[in-house]
Amino acid sequence: MERPSTPPSKPISRPNISPLTPEVTRRIEENRLRAKALREAAIAREGAESTSTTRTTPSGFAIPQSAPQDLSSTSRKRAHASISTSDIPSTSRDARTTAQKPDDGISPARKFKKYVDHDFSKMVDTKGGFLTAEDDPWNKALHAPKEGEKPAHMTLKEWERHQLLRDLRQRKEGPFEPGLSVLGEKGRGEKCRECGGLEVDWLWVEVFKCAVCGVCKEKFPERYSLLTKTEAKDDYLLTDPELKDDELLPHLSKPNPHKSHWHDMNLFLRYQVEEYAFKTKWGSAEALDAEFEKRELEKKQRKEAKFKSKLKELKKKTRTDAYRRNLKNGNREGQFGDIIGTGKHEHEWGATVETADGMTVKTCVECGMEVEELEF
């Protein structure tokens, strides 16, 4: 079988182009010369315009006649000396010279200013109305500084520094901690009552009149741990007047850890509370335990008496049920707890009993019916 082959391409037939005639050649040459003349005339006209009095910018825009003659100044930035001046207008904003505005408190929105008569953030409840310091300038209660409030003449940073220094001074820490001294100066010759060291807790010396170091506090928690007011009342049976007497039982005040707006927490030193409770008030630890058991017994008796009184009131309220029970039983005197029947038997199940097979069974007290139960 013969392999197919591509047929030969057909020859391209070109039209017969006749040569240019002398007339056509002459016209082409005339058009070329005419276009050349027009181009030369346009170049000459542009050159004449550039030498005229009309000036243009490098971008091609025309410069007015009132502009300065120095064309180079139009393409450069103005010098700093030409724009700098010492007479700065009041409307100029410069962040470097802007003074910090005083804190005037809460101010109303601009569109609501004409409707607001008072600044509610500065009002004080005088129990006779909400007033401001401007309303009554002679009222000392309104103008007196509040405790814990930032004074008006202090900045925020100054107020924070003042609070920090006050806390350090109260705790006698940092720069307010007394220096160590072996001399017998007053307030500086304190030694730890356990180990005899000089690095005592000066806050405890001032509050509890007890010189002890931090190591001994951790070493003997049964003596130097702190008790709350509730623990002192519940465990040692102390009263509020005794705990409020600073000469009898000094206490250390700390912020409440549960809620910051609650009253401060009063902490008492354990060995001072035990010495007063065992030696002064109750006489011994055994007497304190006996008193504690006595109070617990009285509390239990009061609880039982309260339950019985409530049960008695409940019996009085159920006299109607007793009357109906008597009518049902033929005026027979009924007992409290009897079931008021409706003609149908109601099972009264007894206690569950485990059989020999391991099943749990309960039996009706009246009819003796047994029911198996599964306990999970």
The rounded distance, in Å, linking the Cα atoms of 319 and 314 is 9
The rounded distance, in Å, linking the Cα atoms of 284 and 277 is 8
Q: Work out the average pLDDT over 352-376.
A: 79
Cβ atoms of 213 and 195 within 8 Å: the answer is: yes
Reported confidence tier of residue 146, pLDDT bands at 50, 70, 90:
low
pLDDT, averaged across the chain = 77
Examine the pLDDT at 83 and tell me if it is beyond 90.
no
Residue (of 297, 277, 280) closest to 288 by Cα position: 277
The rounded distance, in Å, linking the Cα atoms of 145 and 154 is 13
The rounded distance, in Å, linking the Cα atoms of 284 and 286 is 5
Strand partners, 254: 265
Give Cα separations from 143 to 122, 133, 140, 308 (angstroms): 11, 6, 5, 59
Examine the pLDDT at 172 and tell me if it is beyond 80.
no
Cβ atoms of 334 and 325 within 8 Å: the answer is: yes
| Per-residue pLDDT reduced to its tens digit, 40-57 | 999 888 887 766 556 666
Examine the pLDDT at 132 and tell me if it is beyond 80.
no
Q: Which residue has the higher pLDDT, 267 or 117?
A: 267
Q: CB 173: neighbour CB atoms within 10 A?
A: 12
Q: Which amino acid, 354?
A: E
Instruction: Choose from 50-64, 151-165, 292-306 the range with maximum mean pLDDT.
Output: 292-306
Can you give the pLDDT at residue 66?
59
* Rounded-to-5 percentages of helix, strand, coil across the chain: 40, 10, 50
| 322 dihedral zone (left: phi>0; alpha: psi -120 to 50; beta) | alpha
Reported confidence tier of residue 338, pLDDT bands at 50, 70, 90:
low
Examine the pLDDT at 368 and tell me if it is beyond 60.
yes
| Helices within 51-95 (DSSP H only) | 80-83
Can you give the pLDDT at residue 187?
46
| Per-residue pLDDT reduced to its tens digit, 238-269 | 999 999 988 899 999 888 888 877 888 899 99
Least reliable range by pLDDT among 69-83, 342-356, 360-374: 69-83
DSSP 280: I
The rounded distance, in Å, linking the Cα atoms of 91 and 224 is 68
Cβ atoms of 335 and 343 within 8 Å: the answer is: no
Percentage, residues of the chain above pLDDT 70: 61
Cβ atoms of 271 and 223 within 8 Å: the answer is: yes
Cβ atoms of 118 and 105 within 8 Å: the answer is: no
Q: Work out the average pLDDT over 320-335.
A: 63
Examine the pLDDT at 1 and tell me if it is beyond 60.
no
Q: Work out the average pLDDT over 313-335.
A: 67
Reported confidence tier of residue 322, pLDDT bands at 50, 70, 90:
low
Reported confidence tier of residue 300, pLDDT bands at 50, 70, 90:
very high
Q: Which amino acid, 167?
A: D
Least reliable range by pLDDT among 89-93, 198-202, 370-374: 89-93
Q: Work out the average pLDDT over 166-178.
A: 77
Reported confidence tier of residue 227, pLDDT bands at 50, 70, 90:
very high
Residue (of 131, 153, 151, 154) closest to 141 by Cα position: 131
Cβ atoms of 216 and 233 within 8 Å: the answer is: no
Cβ atoms of 273 and 250 within 8 Å: the answer is: no
Helix (H/G/I), strand (E/B), else coil: 265: strand
Examine the pLDDT at 126 and tell me if it is beyond 80.
no
Residue (of 318, 352, 356) closest to 338 by Cα position: 318
Can you give the pLDDT at residue 293?
93
The rounded distance, in Å, linking the Cα atoms of 126 and 134 is 14
